[in-house]
Amino acid sequence: MKLSYISSKIENISTETLVFFTSGYSKVLNKDLKNLDSATNGAITKLLEAEQFSGKASEMAEFLSPAGLDFDRIILVGLGDKKSITADCFRNACGNLSKFKGLINSKKAVFYFDGFTDKHYFQASLEGYLLGGFKLLDYKTGDDAVSKVKLKEITFATSDSKIRRKMESAVEKGLIIAEGQCLVREFSETPGNYLTPTIFAQKAQKLSRKYGLSCSILDKKNIEKEKMGALLGVSQGSAQSPKFIIMKYNGGRKGQDPIVLVGKGVTFDSGGISLKPSLNMDEMKGDMTGAAVVISTIVTAARLKLPVNIVSLVPATENMPSGTATKPGDIHTSRKGLTIEIINTDAEGRLILADALDYANEFNPQAVIDIATLTGATLYSLGYEGAPIFSNNRKMIKMLNDASTETSERVWEFPLWQEYGEAMKSDIADLVNSGGRDAGTIKAAAFLQNFIGDYPWAHIDIAYVDVEKKGRPYIPKGTTGIGLRLLVEMLSNWKNPGK
């Protein structure tokens, strides 16, 4: 996508399609539309009189330009009540716009902002358009493998020359963030036979070379040297060897302690011996979405040149049944030395995270954030609408909540009362990996808490919010890529939470 930026009056615009954003109105044209109405010889007034457009949220109207203007058509995009407009209103509107035939059949378009000066609106507009139009075509053939979208060039325009530079920087940021979220989606939708732990590690190395990150991979032999018994226990049923991915970005001061991101990287989860039902098991190719988020986040941080140091850790493995697989009742010893009785082999994500959270101590982190499609129990707490979060640090919760408000990636704090930790104790080992169905999301977090070091920690469970079943304006049916914008926003405004 080619992007450009101009400041210009409407009547001087030259393009194929003009996209004009406006707040809602009723009987009288609002200020945004008066200039356009004048330039189009009263065309907007005629639409108003015919009750064909009122500017309500995500409403769109298309009409041909009158003679004398150097663009073929105009698309009006409504944003709703001006007092209620947020960045997400632009994100939703442009998500819908990405599927609007009048636009995607054009080769060039101008997105015109008259009366809107908030940089977040500009950023969200491109995010919404790119996210809404995402479609993975890698495994299609013939004509279906070719995008039907003809639009290749968007010019962002404003009548106010003073904000042009602000617009450009905001839109470029939106481009990088949208590409980061689409990278998460690409990873998550990739079939398991095309994304084994080995291939996942190779892709991490390729991204690191491209964006100037350091990347090292621990193979099975080195994982054994690190005594990551929990990760090895999960992997032992698979013919695919596990990998432990370590990516580093140094954008902060030399010697500054890093923020460590940990992502669950189960590239296919059958459940192991505690086999999942066959219905929807195909979706378990996406059980590495947490890993996709932390890999894409560190790449996005590098592209944005964020002034922080970051380490991303990914324990990557399959969870498969076989004659060598972990059995219910087996006991594994984690890297930390704690023994874990395996009650359910389908509670594997917390096991690989346990070793990664302990390994995070090697970096003397400012803080550690793990993100994972961890528990099906989230369906019964927040459903598909938000992600449970947990932390041992109030400043971490505040940063996550602030980032959530800004990005509209919703999170909600859950408790970590002592009783939940008690439920994860074993009669014959130190811990069990499953404490029963009740409060399953919280108990999983309580289990992880046993493996954190002396650092501020947050856990984000993105199970069920990682997949969109129906489709929303900027989240098409399929994987959502949720978590990327949340973490990037948090890192963009990072403040050391203290220990």
Residues 368, 396: Cα–Cα separation, whole Å: 10
* 395 given a catalytic annotation: no
- The SS3 assignment for 113 reads strand
Phi, psi (5° rounding) for residue 200?
Answer: -60, -45
* 276 given a catalytic annotation: yes
Residues 244, 457: Cα–Cα separation, whole Å: 20
- The SS3 assignment for 395 reads helix
Options 220, 243, 350, 443, the catalytic residue = 350
Per DSSP, what are the bridge partners of residue 30? none
Options 276, 395, 410, 472, the catalytic residue = 276
Q: Which two tokens stand for residue 443?
A: 């108990």
Q: Report long-range pairs for 168-172 (Cβ below 8 Å, ≥24 apart).
A: 168/5, 169/119, 170/119, 170/120, 170/122, 170/123, 171/3, 171/5, 171/122, 171/123, 171/125, 171/126, 172/3
Q: Which two tokens stand for residue 50?
A: 């015919």
Q: How many helices (H) and strands (E) does the chain have?
A: 15, 20
Residues 48, 381: Cα–Cα separation, whole Å: 45
Tokens 């999942």 identify what position? 276
Residues with active-site annotation: 276, 350
